[in-house]
Structure 1
Amino acid sequence: WNQGHFWATSLFDLGLTIRLGHIPGGPPCFYSQKSRGHFIVIHTNGIHTLNVEFCACGLSLEPRNQLLHIQWYPASPLDPQTAVTFACLRQFQHFNCLGKIPAFEYYRGLETMTKSRLRKNPPDRYKAFLRCIFQWRHLKMCKRGARGHAASGITGMALGELAIDCPACPQFGKNLPMTCMNAPPHLAHVCFLYTLFLALDANFRLRNRMVSNHYKSLTLGDGWAYLVPCAEYEDHILKYVGQDEMSSCSGFAAMFLANLKNVKGLRVSGVGGCICARHRVWQGNGIGDLQKGERYCNMDFIFWAAIRGNDYLCIAVSYDISCQWSRNFWSRMDDLDPSIKVKYGDGRIMFMIPKFHLRAHKSACHMKYSFNYAPGVGQTHGETVEEGWSQSNKAAAQTKEMGPGTRAMTLDDIFGFANWQTIENLGMLNPLPV
């Protein structure tokens, strides 16, 4: 209040000082040391300039640890001058995963709130905010994977371990006894009980431009969640540089030609995905980039990465071009992993075409690959992967311009959030009458 009217000011101008003590919530330290320059805090209601004094006595922790104790995430581990509150990081993560709001738009909103209050532009800390978000995604994923309680810590992570598994799908040793592995696979009722239903598909909306590189944009935890391990995947793809895209029958020809257009300047022309065909849960290591259309080498590796390390009695694979993909499937698997043929080579993998896509195929495909004539599949339609794409495609605009590491972390977070939502609401889809 100044001369009869309100005057824009801030807590910094009013002399507010945040003093950090030895113990969170304890008394401030008398041997405090001021931060070098003005300290910037990014919160849910704007960007704030504050005076911060760190504890500097013999009992003090590192400044970054003192900030973490009050739930401020430091933008730098050494001499931090900027921090983002945990509340702000949580809010952005939810907005980004659910509403697909880009970090740039979210930060612009914080700038607008700050500018409307102080009538001046706040300090630019956009890059620091991006750095905190990048690390926050990784740490939260490891925390939810209980790596803090593991004896091997974060270094003992296995591929795909941070992916959320479908609790309703057959998992021997978890929700099924190991003795079920000896059951005969040709019985319809056994297939219905113990078959893993997967759906494969390619998505040409999640493209990525050729910006940055793997050296400048690193991936934290490569292959630990939903995306395939980058190095192993690239080594496999390099063996099939000259391989053409899969041919298709009937009405899919025009669609495949359209997917090959407008790929100039793109590092990734789309992604291939593997999802639970019954419960819409993305599989660990079941997402991979497509470099040039929908090729056998890409989809073979994605399918193999999604099922390796696990044992299943039967697998029913729904794929809109199963009539093409199933040809020479076992010979290609021999080149990739001969153990797949040993496990599933005696008719334990069924190749199906989802019901909506089946109508565009030739009549010869209708009986051989139709869910309507397959034993033990119930009313499975195989189109759940399209439901999953409808959610992730909203992030296409923001991930198209990202570097490879940032894009991988963002997609892992989005697919993980989708799985968490699906599993959380799994028991509410068809509630029993009271």
Structure 2
Amino acid sequence: MEDLTSTSADPKPTDHIYNGGRVMTIVHTSGVHHLPIVFCGCSGAAAEDIQLFRVGLYPSTYKSCQTVFTFQLLNDYLLENLECKTSATHYYSKLRRITNFAFPNSIPNRYHELIRVGRQYRNLTELATFGFGHKGKAPTPGEMGFFCPTCPQPGVNLPDDWNKNPNDPTNWKYTRGFVADGNFTAAHQKQARPKDDVWLKNGDSFMTQRGPYLSHLREAIEDNDPRTCHEHNAINNKNVFHRGFDATGIGAIACLRHGTFCPGSVVDFQKGERYGSYPE
């Protein structure tokens, strides 16, 4: 076994045990490291994954874990993805380059673990942000999405007596307007293995719940407007179904004044530019 105190860029041991500790791959902002971790073996000790969480390490799996990510790295990854639009591929390539600038490909590839753990960590931080970290209950539809903080909201940013005089001509300032728009080129192909698609949320924030939305589409009545222009493809192709795609575009409803998306209003279009595709 190589000495773990070696100054080489990748002091990876040839064995899985070192000084009584299990050697694990630890991914941090400073690079990819191999260090021994000794778990508590006392009677009544917490499970290994819980022990890792308590010291700020996120396991890549819950069975025979060999790779962990530090909370600092996951926070940095999500921030770079949000502000710098850094993909998981480029982010992990940077970590490999930090670890071994000359030979980054010699560093273990934990890209797939990073994208899986990153999704889980983002979902957990969102649950904590909206107050569900310790409640033990699931959020209701749209409860994990902020509505426009500037638009009038009774009980939030309006005085208690805002509607005491219904005939007040200045009450117009308390009205809210909405606009619906869509992107009809953001098509999504069907997955080859749909069983591998694990949903962490279903209508909890800005997307509409899948089940009620499909029921709405089955019940929605579409009026066939007369065509006044033979070259207006948006009207001609509004009911066209694209084979091989489970979504032909994406649509959303936003507040008219500030353009902020409304919780529970973002939907995947199923057929062209149908008005009935928008949620009620």
| Range class of TM-score, shorter chain | 0.7 to 0.9
Distance in 2 (CA, whole Å) between partners of 1:144 and 1:230 is 24
SS in 1 for 2:118: helix
> In structure 2, do the counterparts of structure 1 residues 8 and 138 end up closer, same or farther at CA, with 3 Å as the change threshold?
same
1:8/1:119 contact within 8 Å kept? no
Q: CA deviation at 1:103?
A: 2.0
Q: Identify the residue that residue 216 of structure 1 maps to in structure 2.
A: 196
Q: Identify the residue that residue 265 of structure 1 maps to in structure 2.
A: 244
Query: Which of the residues 129, 135, 144 maps onto 2:114?
Result: 129
2:140/2:204 contact within 8 Å kept? yes
Structure 1 unaligned residues grouped into runs of 5+:
1-5, 19-31, 305-434
Give yes or no for the alignment of 1:154 onto 2:134. Answer: no
Give yes or no for the alignment of 1:62 onto 2:44. Answer: no
> In structure 2, do the counterparts of structure 1 residues 114 and 243 end up closer, same or farther at CA, with 3 Å as the change threshold?
farther
Give yes or no for the alignment of 1:291 onto 2:278. Answer: no
> In structure 2, do the counterparts of structure 1 residues 288 and 245 end up closer, same or farther at CA, with 3 Å as the change threshold?
farther
Q: Identify the residue that residue 52 of structure 1 maps to in structure 2.
A: 37
> In structure 2, do the counterparts of structure 1 residues 190 and 164 end up closer, same or farther at CA, with 3 Å as the change threshold?
same
Paired letter, 1:270: G
2:241/2:270 contact within 8 Å kept? no
Q: Identify the residue that residue 166 of structure 1 maps to in structure 2.
A: 148
> In structure 2, do the counterparts of structure 1 residues 77 and 248 end up closer, same or farther at CA, with 3 Å as the change threshold?
farther
> How many corresponding residue pairs?
273
Give yes or no for the alignment of 1:207 onto 2:174. Answer: no
Distance in 2 (CA, whole Å) between partners of 1:262 and 1:98 is 36
Query: Which of the residues 83, 88, 92 maps onto 1:98?
Result: 83
Paired letter, 1:164: F
Paired letter, 1:190: N
Correspondence list, 1:348-367, <5 A: none
Q: Over aligned residue pairs, what C-alpha RMSD do you find?
A: 3.5
Q: Identify the residue that residue 86 of structure 1 maps to in structure 2.
A: 71
Paired letter, 1:236: H
Structure 2 unaligned residues grouped into runs of 5+:
1-5
Distance in 1 (CA, whole Å) between partners of 2:252 and 2:224 is 16
> In structure 2, do the counterparts of structure 1 residues 9 and 176 end up closer, same or farther at CA, with 3 Å as the change threshold?
closer
1:33/1:56 contact within 8 Å kept? no
Paired letter, 1:292: K
Query: Which of the residues 171, 196, 213 maps onto 2:176?
Result: 196
Paired letter, 2:181: D
Distance in 2 (CA, whole Å) between partners of 1:51 and 1:273 is 49
Paired letter, 1:135: Q
Paired letter, 1:195: T
2:241/2:272 contact within 8 Å kept? no
SS in 2 for 1:116: coil
Correspondence list, 1:231-310, <5 A: 231-240=211-220, 243=222, 253-254=232-233, 263-299=242-278, 301=279, 304=280
- The structure where helix makes up a greater share of residues is 1
Q: CA deviation at 1:243?
A: 4.5
Paired letter, 1:162: M
2:81/2:87 contact within 8 Å kept? yes
Paired letter, 1:71: G
Q: Identify the residue that residue 417 of structure 1 maps to in structure 2.
A: none
CA offsets, 1:32-84, max 9 Å, x none?
Answer: 9532xx41122223322222222222363222122112211111223321111
Give yes or no for the alignment of 1:176 onto 2:158. Answer: yes
SS in 2 for 1:111: helix
Q: CA deviation at 1:296?
A: 2.1
Q: Identify the residue that residue 3 of structure 2 maps to in structure 1.
A: none
CA offsets, 1:155-210, max 9 Å, x none?
Answer: 3x21100101222211112222565456537x65211x211122210112432111
Q: CA deviation at 1:213?
A: 5.8
Query: Which of the residues 4, 19, 34 maps onto 2:21?
Result: 34
TM-score, normalisation: structure 2: 0.81
Distance in 2 (CA, whole Å) between partners of 1:297 and 1:60 is 55
Q: Percent identity?
A: 25
